[in-house]
Chains A and B, each alone.
Chain A
Amino acid sequence: MATVRFEGAGKRFGGVDALVDLHLDIEDGELAVLVGPSGSGKTTALRLLAGLESITSGHVWIGDKQVDALPPRDRDIAMVFQDYALYPQMTVYKNLAFGLRMRKVAPGDIDGQVLTAAKTLGLEDLLERRPRELSGGQRQRVALGRALVRQPQVFLMDEPLSNLDAKLRTQTRVEIARIQREFGITTVYVTHDQIEAMTLGRRVAVMRDGRLQQFDSPKGLYDRPANLFVASFIGSPAMNITEGSLEHAGDGLAIAFGDHRLAVGRPESRPDDGIGAYAGRKVLLGIRPEAMADASLALGTPEDRRMTVRVELREDVGSDVYAYFEGGPPVSNPGLAESPTGDDDEAGGNRRRTFVARLSPQSKAREGDAIQIAINDRALFFFDPDTGVRIG
């Protein structure tokens, strides 16, 4: 077990910066997740840590050892790959034993360690099978077992659930969390799936274009996103984002966007804000779908915290109702946000006009209805229109 530390780590491929000046401190026994869209540098960071890529600048530490120049086998790490990377010609037993054999562990000890790992993962009955005789979920467990059997200092996981179907993914996610907690092995987990990141990570590093955006607890990312990208990446459905202008309204502020105008509240009720300085200026506004409610079910919401909208589409998923309606104008600088599904800019830009609200299943809102949406002003996020940095 060990801490992991990226100290200004960078990687250039040809003329392209895949990772830029990454600073990250991962605690001993922590499960940290690197999340981001493809090309965000998360996998590059993991491969630098594994020693599968050489570092271009900065340093990587495992425990108190600087490992920049060490080959993978000397870093005391184990890795789980997206495609499992099991040796096809070897039985499950031999796959599990391979790393121990390479490390010249005594044959008697190998047997014991393999059987222990197999038991932890319920692989006892599969030991004589070959990978192609296993289901996807079983292969994934073997891949986990191969990492576990060596009791390494650090687990590295590169999108280990991507090749599983949805149900198995949830099961395996729970399994990974259980094993990680049970053995307390420091784990760095890479995924592009924000749900996976939020459910698994004690802390989550959101990456984009080779740069770390924010490293925080899931709640921290959700409640206090550092910028528009993190705000739009975390949360499902994604945060509604639009352009608006901050105006003085009495002794407080109001935000006007599209046909709507919402009270932001007194500055003193938002003590950590810097939005006062933006009064009278254009800002970017973010509203989480779950911060909206059907006003007919949220009695007592003041008039200036409601907006009247016409429902364009209603999706009833049982536990919730998703209502789509026209919100504000799209963000004119679409590069600041990114939808986690990776929509291209045009589709994303068009979709941003449409807001989605997650309403209670009791909501009677129907397509074509004009309804009132109540909004909790604490759930309004404001971002600088040029940099995307959150200002309130």
Chain B
Amino acid sequence: MVRSTASAPATVRTTWSAARARTRADAAPGERRSAAYLYILPALAFYGLFVLAPFGHSIALSFFDYDGISPGSWIGLANYKELLADSQTRGAFVHALVLVVFYAALPVAIGLLLAASLSRTRVRGLAWFRTVLFLPQIIPLVVVAVIWRYIYAPGEGPLNEALRATGLSGLARPWLGDFSWALPAVGIVGTWVQYGLCMVLFIAGVQKIPTSLYDAARVDGAGALNEFLAVTLPNLRNEIAVALTLTIIASLRNFDLIYLTTQGGPGNATSVPAFEVYNQAFEVGRVGFASAIGVTLALIIFAITIGVNRIAEARS
């Protein structure tokens, strides 16, 4: 294929027939490799138009001082320097990392616990449990936000009511309005949404593990913990990598839940990068700076995702 296109003689007609002859004679069977690009062209065109082009545009905007209306001016890396210097923006990134614990680490841990316990006992009505526990994933986030705003409501909210009813009224507080509790409170909502996904992934993974491995571990004298460490955990490596990738991305680019529950407040206590992008671009009117935050967030997500998958592959 390569040779036939590289050695193009003078007249087009002879080239064409010579290439065909040579393709038949000594090239690998099947169509020319370059034909493949033709097949992916439609999808690639859409991807380029709606993903790559806007992303490139955002990168470009991040080097400008631009308010979204009047012509911008080139300011080089100034937006990125400000991003590092500005405590409010830095805080948003720190909040995102805290949310990783609630969105990714906790759901994966809970999912593993559930999957591991299910691997040792046959539960009747497993499909029913799976459906119920997966439900938070299906409910639209807007509804989730409304549900939890109600649960967390100051004064008469069910959570505070429950605390008072059990004699823990000292703990009752306006959860989403409390400077130190608002972020964990939002995080718990993320845990509630994500653990079902992790659990379903892990249960599917556990069912693929040959039962003879569990039998072998039991005969070898492994208790529940060692059985988990020697059989369940290593065999779920791929599922854990997938779960971590999905949940970490979800936590870092979290916007809707914050927007619908706290709007980043109180103060900036629950502000996250994606919310800052929105805030800077559409409320403050600093599109260039917002782009810089967005690009930085994208790079962090890339880096963490690649890291997670590198670790998973290295172990396998």
| Cβ-based interface call for B216 (8 A) | yes
Q: Is the CB of B219 within 8 A of A72?
A: yes
Q: A52 to chain B: which residues have CB within 8 Å?
A: 215, 218-219
Q: A78 to chain B: which residues have CB within 8 Å?
A: 219
Q: Is the CB of B210 within 8 A of A85?
A: yes
Interface residues of A in 46-92 (CB under 8 A from B): 50-52, 71-73, 77-79, 81-83, 85-90
* Stretch of A96-104, A198-206, A238-246 lying at the B interface: A96-104
Q: A85-B213, A87-B217, A98-B222 are in contact. List 5 more A-B contacts (CB 8 A).
A: A50-B219, A52-B219, A79-B215, A85-B212, A89-B234
A87 partner, pick from B219, B231, B237, B315, beta carbons under 8 A: B231
1/0 per residue, CB under 8 A from B, across A136-168: the answer is 000000000010000000001000000000000
Write the nearest CB–CB distance from B227 to chain A, whole angstroms: 10
Write the nearest CB–CB distance from B230 to chain A, whole angstroms: 6
Q: Is the CB of B234 within 8 A of A85?
A: no
> Number of contacting residues on A, CB 8 A?
24
1/0 per residue, CB under 8 A from B, across A230-244: the answer is 000000000000000
Q: How far is the CA of A188 from the CA of B223 in the complex (A)?
A: 25
Q: B221 to chain A: which residues have CB within 8 Å?
A: 72-73, 99, 102-103
| Cβ-based interface call for B14 (8 A) | no
| Cβ-based interface call for B226 (8 A) | yes
Q: A71-B218, A98-B220 are in contact. Are A82 and B315 (CB under 8 A)?
A: no
Nearest to A75 among chain B residues (CB) is B219
Q: Is the CB of A79 within 8 A of B219?
A: yes
Q: Is the CB of A87 within 8 A of B215?
A: no
Write the nearest CB–CB distance from A172 to chain B, whole angstroms: 18
> Number of contacting residues on B, CB 8 A?
19
Q: How far is the CA of A77 from the CA of B215 in the complex (A)?
A: 12
Write the nearest CB–CB distance from A87 to chain B, whole angstroms: 6
Q: How far is the CA of A81 from the CA of B146 in the complex (A)?
A: 53
Q: Is the CB of B210 within 8 A of A72?
A: no
Q: Is the CB of B226 within 8 A of A85?
A: no
| Cβ-based interface call for B305 (8 A) | no
| Cβ-based interface call for B58 (8 A) | no
Q: A85-B212, A89-B315 are in contact. Are A77 and B219 (CB under 8 A)?
A: yes
Nearest to B213 among chain A residues (CB) is A85
Q: A73 to chain B: which residues have CB within 8 Å?
A: 218-223
Q: A52-B215, A85-B212, A85-B215 are in contact. Are A99 and B220 (CB under 8 A)?
A: yes
Q: Enumerate 6 A-B pairs (CB-CB under 8 Å) in ascending A order.
A: A73-B222, A73-B223, A79-B219, A82-B212, A85-B210, A103-B221
1/0 per residue, CB under 8 A from A, across B284-305: the answer is 0000000000000000000000
Binding site for B on A (CB under 8 A): 50-52, 71-73, 77-79, 81-83, 85-90, 98-99, 102-103, 146, 156
Q: Is the CB of B235 within 8 A of A102?
A: no
Q: B231 to chain A: which residues have CB within 8 Å?
A: 87
Q: Name A's interface SS.
A: loop
Q: How far is the CA of A79 from the CA of B217 in the complex (A)?
A: 10
Nearest to A156 among chain B residues (CB) is B219
Q: Is the CB of A85 within 8 A of B218?
A: no
Query: Across chains A and B, which 3 residue pairs bring their CB atoms closest together, nearest first?
Result: A73-B221, A102-B221, A99-B220
Nearest to A150 among chain B residues (CB) is B220
Q: A73-B221, A85-B210, A102-B222 are in contact. Are A79 and B234 (CB under 8 A)?
A: no
Q: How far is the CA of A86 from the CA of B213 in the complex (A)?
A: 7
Q: Is the CB of A102 within 8 A of B220?
A: yes
Point out which of A52, A83, A85 has the most chain B C-beta atoms below 10 A from its C-beta. Answer: A85
Q: Is the CB of B210 within 8 A of A83?
A: yes
Q: Is the CB of A79 within 8 A of B216?
A: yes
Q: A82 to chain B: which residues have CB within 8 Å?
A: 212
Q: B219 to chain A: which residues have CB within 8 Å?
A: 50, 52, 72-73, 77-79, 99, 156
Q: A82-B212, A85-B213, A102-B226 are in contact. Are A72 and B218 (CB under 8 A)?
A: yes
Write the nearest CB–CB distance from A42 to chain B, whole angstroms: 16
Q: A88 to chain B: which residues have CB within 8 Å?
A: 234-235
Q: How far is the CA of A365 from the CA of B147 in the complex (A)?
A: 88
Q: How far is the CA of A99 from the CA of B230 in the complex (A)?
A: 11
Q: A87 to chain B: which residues have CB within 8 Å?
A: 213, 216-217, 230-231, 234
Q: How far is the CA of A86 from the CA of B218 in the complex (A)?
A: 13
Q: How far is the CA of A86 from the CA of B217 in the complex (A)?
A: 9
Q: How far is the CA of A99 from the CA of B215 in the complex (A)?
A: 12
Q: B230 to chain A: which residues have CB within 8 Å?
A: 87, 90, 98
Q: How far is the CA of A226 from the CA of B216 in the complex (A)?
A: 36
Nearest to A103 among chain B residues (CB) is B221
Nearest to A47 among chain B residues (CB) is B215
Q: How far is the CA of A98 from the CA of B220 in the complex (A)?
A: 7
Q: How far is the CA of A76 from the CA of B220 in the complex (A)?
A: 9
Q: How far is the CA of A77 from the CA of B216 in the complex (A)?
A: 11
